[in-house]
Amino acid sequence: MNKHTKIMVCVLAIFIVGMTLGVAFADPVDAKTFKGKSKYKWKISNSKWTKMKNKAKKEYKKAKKQGRAVVIGYSKGVKVTVTKAGHKYKGTAYAIKNSKGIRCEVRGVKAGLRVSNWGDYYV
């Protein structure tokens, strides 16, 4: 073999070993798990949840400053999969801020059902 060919093979081998070790020891993505009162569960990654919370807080402050009758701040929706007893449902999660705190609410699970980590209700 050529000297240059040996060097290229060694560099390629080191690259492959490095990528394999990187995948093997990678940390799993952190996600916040929410659970509704009626045992619905869903997950949102920490980075998305932080962005959602900040948006809801910003909207809440804006609504309070404007003097609205109902002061609530909503975030933009994030698509999630909601599970209950082995069944999967698609929905859209929102962060909602009011005077009591922030909750995560999922809409579109079933007809008229809104699942929240504070409690489930029908609209």
Largest CA distance in the chain: 80
Percent of the chain at pLDDT > 70 equals 91
The span from the CA of 65 to the CA of 92, in Å, is: 28
Q: Over the stretch 58-102, which tens digit does the pLDDT of each residue have? A: 999 999 999 988 899 999 999 999 888 888 888 899 999 988 889
CA distance 56 to 120: 20
Q: Provide mean pLDDT across the span 99-115.
A: 83
Q: Looking at the predicted structure, is the pLDDT value of residue 26 above 70?
A: no
Residues shown for the chain: 123
Does 10 score more than 80 pLDDT?
yes
| Residue 111 scores a pLDDT above 80 | no
Confidence of residue 29 (pLDDT cuts 50, 70, 90): low
Residue-level pLDDT at 28: 59
Whether residue 27 is predicted with pLDDT greater than 60 in this model: the reply is no
